[in-house]
Amino acid sequence: MSDNSIRTNYPMMFNQTVIPFPTDCNETSLTIEKAVQTEGGKDIVTISRYDKLKATMSFVCLQNVVQTLGSFRTVDRFTFKRYNPIIDDYEERTVRMRNFNCKPRKGSEDLKEVKGVWEVSFDLEEF
């Protein structure tokens, strides 16, 4: 299966909006735990959550995609749906967007008909 067919067959979504595949994506699964030491010096660890998603994404895109992605930066929470190869199915996570950054790509100002090419990056943090 080619890389393009994966991108076509397994789109990512913010709520019901299909977003393009990022240029770069780094996902981390966090374990949320609390460690307490007893009077006897023994550590007791309580795990409250496995697999909490934190993702950093970056895109090189046109202005219309910047608008789509940017519209989620002020939303308190939204659904992030993506294909997970570990479970071989889609999964939905409730996330918030943080650290939204957008800048024009050098030399793209000459592309006035598409309003330039932009570099966009942000973090997604699961609740």
Rounded CA separation 4/19 (Å): 15
What's the pLDDT score for residue 59?
93
Q: What mean pLDDT comes out for the span 41-69? A: 88
Q: List C-alpha distances in Å: 56 to 16, 28, 48, 49, 112.
A: 20, 9, 23, 20, 29
Q: How far is CA 72 from CA 15, 16, 87, 107, 122, in A?
A: 10, 12, 27, 27, 11
Please tell me the distance from the alpha carbon of residue 95 to that of residue 34, in angstroms, as a whole number. Answer: 22
In tens, the pLDDT along 70-126 reads 999 999 999 999 888 888 888 999 999 999 999 988 877 766 677 778 999 999 999
The domain segmentation of the chain, as residue ranges, is 3-126
pLDDT for 50 beyond 90 = no
CATH 2.40.30 fits 3-126, yes or no: yes
| For range 37-53, the mean pLDDT | 84
Other CB atoms within a 10 A radius of the CB of residue 72 amount to 20
Q: Which of 16-20, 27-31, 92-96, 115-119 has the highest mean pLDDT?
A: 92-96
State the chain's maximal CA–CA distance in angstroms. 71
pTM of the model: 0.75
> What are the C-alpha distances in Å from 100 to residues 64, 70, 119, 122?
16, 8, 11, 4
pLDDT at 3: 45
